[in-house]
Chains A and B, each alone.
Chain A
Amino acid sequence: MSLTMIKKPETSNRTIPNTSKNIVFDTDDLNLWYGDTHALKNINLSINEKEVTAIIGPSGCGKSTFIKTLNRMVEMVPSVRTSGDIKYNEKSILEKSFRVEELRTRVGMVFQKPNPFPKSIYENVAYGPKIHGIRNKKVLDEIVEKSLRDAFIWDEVKDRLKENAYGLSGGQQQRLCIARTLAIEPDVLLMDEPTSALDPISTLKVEELVQKLKEDYSIVIVTHNMQQAARISDQTAFFLNGEVVEFDETEKLFSNPSDQRTEDYITGRFG
């Protein structure tokens, strides 16, 4: 099914973006329903280019739903409908004319649980470029090496590229999945709790990777780990019951939030 777009006249909870940065995603009174359940309410968020934007909030607050609207993955759920608008590089992605395949090429996604294909390490990374028509072995080799290097995993796997990806540790699998996403050269990386299944060292490696990747990519990361959001993100949005309670620079939000509900959540008083 496809998403329908109904432009709403009123605008609420608008957060003025940092104007010195280009905006890669801009939502305008975005509402989303799963059947009768109102899962996102008047979301007005601007995602800055080449920054890390963290989405935090208790379970069921709409964080994952929100990032899945950014690559329209949410429309795989039956009974979803939306109103409002999402602009990606100033184009409305909810328009029927917007090609979802193109969107998902530009907006990659990494999930909570590492999900490599049951193939070799090499094939995992080469898979996307091959689908996009690249057949030249030399070009594919270069893409695989660059992607694995960019995902900080090259040194660990360069001598075992033909081995099955399932033989890697969880942390390595997750970085392989990031490499797989990078191989098709997206603009944006959506990360849905990418370290929640990883050990502390693997988590720190992914965090360092995120810091490095923001030089070239715009990153939106959903995390339950508050310290992680504080460490790696530039902007943080706090979601509660489908609404954005507060959206601000990460340092401000974690040191002196404006809204008491944010303070209560980040200090662990609820959630």
Chain B
Amino acid sequence: MVRENFEDKLQVLKEQVLKMSETVKASLSKSLIALEQQNVQQAQEVINGDKEINAIEDDINDQAVWLIAKEQPVAKDLRRLVITLKVTNDIERIGDLAVNIAKSVERIENDQLPEEEKQQILTNASVVEKMIDLVEEAYIKEDVEKAFEIGRIDDQVDHQHGDSIEKLLMYMTQHPNEITAITQLAFISRYLERAADHVTNIAEGIIYLVKGKHVDLNA
């Protein structure tokens, strides 16, 4: 096989993207546990861990840029490197959203939260986590069908987020003293919805990699 070295480098890059995704997924999970338990210390760990994620992104992007300069890729090779740059950006943004969730948990601290609404958001969060698992599988196998499935799940997440916001607004009118904490909970719902959008962007990247065509799964 010609270009074995280049193939090896692409494979290494793919593994690093997956490692970055796993790190971000763990960060998001920890931010959700912090929310569930209202555990400020866990939230602080999420915030502290963000530097590592940014460093992984920079490292992957440096390697991808160097490979573009060195190997002058075209067609699928070029698309693979271009989506690597885009995908790492989306993963990093999911990491930032985990940090935002953690910061909201710090602001909520020990304030009381409405249990039903909180659980609904946590349920939606577990759907987002599943989307990350699915997008990792789609990325590994370059599976376009799975990528399209992510677009459909994103619609459910959007719908659930809308429903949560409605319920939280209703709750606020009845419990005006709890507005500060409830607003933070609404933010968290919004952060999760944004995270799902980034997962959807990654899915679009996978479709572009395989098909060379742009699709909008967020439409």
Interface of A toward B, CB cutoff 8 Å: 226-227, 230, 254-257, 263, 266-271
Contact A255–B74 (Cβ < 8 Å): yes
Report the Cα distance A226→B212, complex, angstroms.
19
Contact A270–B75 (Cβ < 8 Å): no
Contact A269–B75 (Cβ < 8 Å): no
Measured CB to CB, the nearest residue on chain B to A230 is: B74
| A255 partner, pick from B2, B3, B212, beta carbons under 8 A | B212
Instruction: Give B67 Cβ to nearest chain A Cβ, in Å.
Output: 13
Measured CB to CB, the nearest residue on chain B to A257 is: B75
A sample of 27 inter-chain contacts (CB < 8 A) reads A226-B72, A226-B74, A227-B72, A254-B74, A254-B75, A255-B74, A255-B75, A255-B78, A256-B75, A256-B212, A256-B213, A257-B75, A263-B75, A263-B76, A266-B74, A266-B75, A267-B3, A267-B73, A267-B74, A267-B75, A267-B76, A267-B77, A268-B2, A269-B1, A269-B2, A269-B3, A271-B2
Known interface pairs A263-B76, A267-B3, A269-B2; 8 further A-B residue pairs with C-beta atoms within 8 A, sorted by A's residue number: A226-B74, A254-B75, A255-B78, A256-B212, A257-B75, A266-B75, A267-B77, A269-B1
Chain A residues contacting B73 (CB-CB under 8 Å) are 267
Instruction: Give B76 Cβ to nearest chain A Cβ, in Å.
Output: 6
Report the Cα distance A112→B212, complex, angstroms.
35
Report the Cα distance A228→B63, complex, angstroms.
25
Instruction: Give A61 Cβ to nearest chain B Cβ, in Å.
Output: 16
Instruction: Give B51 Cβ to nearest chain A Cβ, in Å.
Output: 36
Chain A residues contacting B76 (CB-CB under 8 Å) are 263, 267
Instruction: Give B72 Cβ to nearest chain A Cβ, in Å.
Output: 6
Measured CB to CB, the nearest residue on chain A to B7 is: A269
Give 1 or 0 for each of B53-82: 1 = CB within 8 Å of chain A CB.
000000000000000000011111111000
List 3 tightest A-B contacts by C-beta distance, closest first.
A256-B212, A267-B77, A268-B3
Instruction: Give A90 Cβ to nearest chain B Cβ, in Å.
Output: 35
